Structure 1
Amino acid sequence: MYSGDSDSSSDSGERVRRGETLDFQNLNVVSAVGRGAKGVVFLARVMEKGNGDWLALKVVSKELLRKKNRNKGSCKRVSFERHILRRFDHPLLPRFRGALDTDQLTGFAIDYCHGGNLHLLRKKQPEKTFSEETVRFYAVELVLVLEYLHNFGVVYRDLKPENIMIQESGHIMLVDFDLSKKLYLRSTPSSSCNSSPGSDSSPEKDRRKRRPSRFSCYCHSGISLYDSDIPNQLNAIPTSRSMSDSVEKSNSFVGTEEYVAPEVISGEGHDFAVDWWSLGIVLHELIYGTTPFKGANRKETFHRIITKEPELSGATTPLRDLIKKLLEKDPERRIQVKDIKSHDFFKGVKWDTILEISRPPYIPQNEIKDSTGFSQKDVESFVHRIFFPKSKEEEDKTNKREAKNNEKENYENEENDKKEESNKNVWVDMLNQNSAKDENFLIF
């Protein structure tokens, strides 16, 4: 743990609140809490006067990016995620808390969510399902956050319970935007906004007047996705049924197989409607405990998504009716946001004030215990070992070399080294692909 002077620690905390640069010198990295295809998430805290906020620090190996980046796709997605996080201002989306950059790692921090994710919370329920009232609460918040993203012109493309975190307040936070994409108006390319990292579109010179967000009460700055658009607020992205004709479609094959929409599998091109399909899958999982189309393998799952209708057992209810309309295979006929919000399942919901008055069904307890953190070298070594594991022969050589070095140290230092190495080995063991089912870690 770094023991800097109090003034520098306080300045560091203030920089994090402003979303600026993070520094390992004033950052206490406590443990690893999750891993993904390109990165690892650590629980960290900025050292300042008193106790700094807990952060989720997502770091990506630069070496892995170079290896995967033959077509520039990986770097674009990492840049895009960081780019849009800086511009979000919504209570159900992450706050960008700072960027981190070393010779080996690049990353950023957002607020840490004390309640884990919705997948783990569901599995803790007695029947591994939620009541309709609880489903309604989470569904309302998901509709709000997806509508906000779509008004930004962003299609999320990876909605699943594992990406729906529970904040300390009990409200959700949607995370992990590296599969998200900016969509542009098809018919008036000169009016679309400036090209972003990860975007396929060219920069545009002309702008149309932007309309304010309908969630301006929750989005204090009202800024749009890109720096050059800040004075103009949000894009004029259509939200009516004409959206499919007005907005470009993506042909990328992305998503998580059980939640992916039929039009993604068929390769016909997709737009914002894929998020409403995924919402239907999530609601089905919350009320039934399973996704509706899961097969024995990916091929069978995709076949079921394209050909099979969802089995909605039980009496007809507004929730089951909504799920059925969300899981309409034709994206042109799939229910959209206006009709979703007026659906009987949400009867009585006051959408403009719901985030201010709603009471979450679950409030997590803050059980985090502070401890001595790990150094930059420890974190870089750990991330490297996750994505570039040594062979058994190399590991044996390393262990022998470390054993010889330890013989030269006194007993106290030797015991401390063993303890720290044990902690790091636990991280690696728990985060490798073979241990992905462990519920203490998030696999994103």
Structure 2
Amino acid sequence: MANWPKLSSPHPAIELSDLTAASVLGRGGNGIVFFVRHLSSGRTLALKCISKPSRDGDYRRIWFERDVLLALQHPLLPSLRGIVSTDKLVGFAMDYCPGGDLNTVRRCQAEKMFSQEMIRFYAVEMVIAVEHLHTLGIIYRDLKPENILIQENGHIMLLDFDLSTKLPTSPSSPKSHFTRSKTLLSKTKPNNLLPLFRCFSCHHAGVSPDLAAGENLLPSPKKSKSFVGTEEYVAPEIIIGKGHDFAVDWWGLGVVLYEMLYGRTPFRGQNRKETFRRILTKPPELVGKQTALMDLIGKMLVNDPSKRITCDEIKRHEFFRGVDWDLVVDIARPPYIPMGKKWEEVSEGLDVEKIVEEVSGGKARAATRNAGSVVRNSANEDFAVF
């Protein structure tokens, strides 16, 4: 087994014995997420645990995810609260999001569908989160409803960087929208703030500064040729395999918006081969009265990445007319405020190491196989869940 390097991060180590796990929030081939309580502080957290691998390549992926989490300081992205390391696993402790994911929000709606205003709100926050990652040089590469969680305050949190990678950014790259909003808001009087959306109210709040990309992030070429993503959301240039860049995330957002509008993804086939064929050859079916949202989705789901709509063009699109991008993170009443999951007091708690060991051994893979296939960095197209 490869040597497990010592942690160099400023974030405190957390002993597994100082955590009690009440339930499993999600699981898959590469990790499992627990709902835990930190006994010393009484704080509830989400703990993502990964079995310590035997291959150096797998170590590098774990360290990459750690370094991404260390580089993030943004209200729509996770913060690393601590790291757990035992002989059998490594775990990342992050804030717990009680609202579930976007699929959970959809099921809570009266007609099991999103309204145009809800789609607009979540689309704005997804654009801001992805834009911030891109300014750090990070391509997310796995945008889908399951990875878009709802925080206690109703704002989203984009989670899970298993499939992310880093490309170099130029010195002339634009600053994160989050950074720009910090300066603007600090000079704006609360009573002069205009509503971001007619149905939501805003409040003035300070925003902490963002953090530059961590020096430990793995260097990458100008384009990545990794074959990664989730089957129904993967961009055509990833399937072709000649190289891809940040544009894949705007394709992924187009698929998510389509699913929010129609309740299904646009290219799903009877099998993986048919799904990929549709992605490469079939335009999305945008049925019904044409709207600004449909136009936006159509411009995101353009096969040629050089002709696909860009971030700046997205923000200027008709669908977002009237949106003040500098006030989004300060909306006091998002469209959905979760009730929150109460702590489940378990007398002995879950055996975290045992469950992680079972997952890494493949015993839990069958239970999650129907949740969607994930394309991994693999020459033999190893599709695995999570």
Pairing 1:93–2:97 present: no
How far does residue 329 in structure 1 lie from its aligned partner after superposition? 0.7
How far does residue 219 in structure 1 lie from its aligned partner after superposition? 6.2
Over 3 Å counting, the alpha-carbon distance change for 1:225 and 1:290 in structure 2 is: same
1:327 and 1:118 map into 2 onto residues whose CA distance is: 20
1:43 and 1:437 map into 2 onto residues whose CA distance is: 23
Over 3 Å counting, the alpha-carbon distance change for 1:45 and 1:269 in structure 2 is: same
SS of aligned partner of 1:86: helix
- Give the structure 2 partner of residue 111 of structure 1: 95
Structure 2: runs of 5+ lacking an equivalent: 1-9, 183-205, 372-384
Over 3 Å counting, the alpha-carbon distance change for 1:105 and 1:326 in structure 2 is: same
Name the aligned partner's letter for residue 145 of structure 2: P
Backbone CA RMSD of aligned residues = 2.4
2:121 and 2:80 map into 1 onto residues whose CA distance is: 25
Q: How does 1:337-376 map to 2 (within 5 A)?
A: 337-357=311-331, 359-372=333-346, 374=348
Over 3 Å counting, the alpha-carbon distance change for 1:433 and 1:91 in structure 2 is: same
Name the aligned partner's letter for residue 346 of structure 1: F
Over 3 Å counting, the alpha-carbon distance change for 1:358 and 1:258 in structure 2 is: farther
Which protein has the larger Cα radius of gyration, Structure 1 or Structure 2?
A: 1
Q: How does 1:275-294 map to 2 (within 5 A)?
A: 275-294=249-268
2:173 and 2:297 map into 1 onto residues whose CA distance is: 33
| Contact 1:277 1:326 (8 Å CA) reproduced | yes
Pairing 1:380–2:343 present: no
Over 3 Å counting, the alpha-carbon distance change for 1:142 and 1:211 in structure 2 is: closer
- Give the structure 1 partner of residue 211 of structure 2: 223
| Contact 2:44 2:96 (8 Å CA) reproduced | yes
- Give the structure 2 partner of residue 30 of structure 1: 22
Name the aligned partner's letter for residue 433 of structure 1: A
Name the aligned partner's letter for residue 215 of structure 1: F
How far does residue 215 in structure 1 lie from its aligned partner after superposition? 1.7
SS of aligned partner of 2:229: coil
| Contact 2:139 2:167 (8 Å CA) reproduced | yes
- Give the structure 1 partner of residue 381 of structure 2: none
- Give the structure 1 partner of residue 367 of structure 2: 434
Q: Can you list the C-alpha shifts for 1:154-204, whole angstroms capped at 9, x where unaligned?
A: 11000000000011111100000011111015xxxxxx7xxxxxxxxxxxx
Name the aligned partner's letter for residue 17 of structure 2: Q
> Number of residue pairs matched?
336
1:130 and 1:162 map into 2 onto residues whose CA distance is: 16
Name the aligned partner's letter for residue 302 of structure 1: F
How far does residue 30 in structure 1 lie from its aligned partner after superposition? 1.4
SS of aligned partner of 2:68: helix
SS of aligned partner of 2:325: coil
Say which of 307, 313, 333 aligns to 2:307: 333
- Give the structure 1 partner of residue 49 of structure 2: 59
| Contact 1:28 1:373 (8 Å CA) reproduced | no
1:55 and 1:367 map into 2 onto residues whose CA distance is: 12
SS of aligned partner of 1:278: helix
2:216 and 2:67 map into 1 onto residues whose CA distance is: 13
How far does residue 267 in structure 1 lie from its aligned partner after superposition? 0.9
- Give the structure 2 partner of residue 273 of structure 1: 247
- Give the structure 1 partner of residue 198 of structure 2: none
2:287 and 2:321 map into 1 onto residues whose CA distance is: 22
1:346 and 1:163 map into 2 onto residues whose CA distance is: 23
1:384 and 1:272 map into 2 onto residues whose CA distance is: 35
SS of aligned partner of 1:98: strand
How far does residue 212 in structure 1 lie from its aligned partner after superposition? 5.0
2:216 and 2:119 map into 1 onto residues whose CA distance is: 39
How far does residue 209 in structure 1 lie from its aligned partner after superposition? 8.7
Q: How does 1:42-191 map to 2 (within 5 A)?
A: 42-48=34-40, 52-62=42-52, 65-66=53-54, 69=55, 72-185=56-169
Q: Can you list the C-alpha shifts for 1:14-69, whole angstroms capped at 9, x where unaligned?
A: xxxx84111123212212221122111111011136xx22111011111xx21xx2
Over 3 Å counting, the alpha-carbon distance change for 1:158 and 1:31 in structure 2 is: same
Q: Once the two structures are aligned, what percentage of the paired residues are identical?
A: 50
Over 3 Å counting, the alpha-carbon distance change for 1:296 and 1:222 in structure 2 is: same
1:179 and 1:158 map into 2 onto residues whose CA distance is: 7
Q: Can you list the C-alpha shifts for 1:317-360, whole angstroms capped at 9, x where unaligned?
A: 00000000000111000000111001000000001112213631
| Contact 1:212 1:222 (8 Å CA) reproduced | no
Name the aligned partner's letter for residue 20 of structure 1: P
Q: Can you list the C-alpha shifts for 1:227-260, whole angstroms capped at 9, x where unaligned?
A: 489xxxxxxxxxxxxxxxxx81100000001000
How far does residue 278 in structure 1 lie from its aligned partner after superposition? 0.4
Pairing 1:256–2:230 present: yes
1:213 and 1:305 map into 2 onto residues whose CA distance is: 30
TM-score by length of 2: 0.81
